Structure 1
């Protein structure tokens, strides 16, 4: 049985991608930006919890690369996937 581990959380300005197979559970996401990443909520990623550029900058600190994103409002469409 094939299980897809990558989930997409779509927002107006950003799409956040999470790959569970890459995650090392360091907690950088939830500790550093709990208004966006909250494991007690469903969905656990709230793309409206902060400005898209702040979310993107925080995702760039993910040590495993399990979190990636695509900015939807930029003229040059930034992909960090």
Structure 2
């Protein structure tokens, strides 16, 4: 069973798949205003610009984090590599 959670922002939606996560910590180390494990929910898609969040998610080594820009563009490095 895939454990995927969706976090809605005004300009970006962030998806997190806990089954894929390798707990590298890159998300919380790079954008603490967006990814904060001490808060619930731990992802705040309005904590920075959608561009900054998208660039940071692209650094996720496992592909556990993906995003959809609400202007219609859907992207993540991991998905682009499989296309």
Same fold (TM over 0.5): yes
2:12 maps to which residue?
Answer: 14
Shift of 1:80: 2.2
Structure in which a larger fraction of residues adopt helix: 2
Q: TM-score, normalised by structure 1?
A: 0.89
Count of residues in correspondence between the two structures = 76
Q: Which runs of 4+ in 1 moved over 2 A?
A: none
Shift of 1:4: 4.3
Choose from 43, 54, 75 the match for 1:80: 75
Q: TM-score, normalised by structure 2?
A: 0.87
The CA deviation string for residues 4-39 of structure 1, in whole angstroms up to 9 with x for no partner, is: 400000001000000000000000000011010000
CA distance in 1, matches of 2:58, 2:73: 12
| Structure 2 gaps, min length 5 | 77-83
Shift of 1:48: 1.0
Alignment RMSD: 1.1
- State the secondary structure of the residue aligned to 1:40: coil
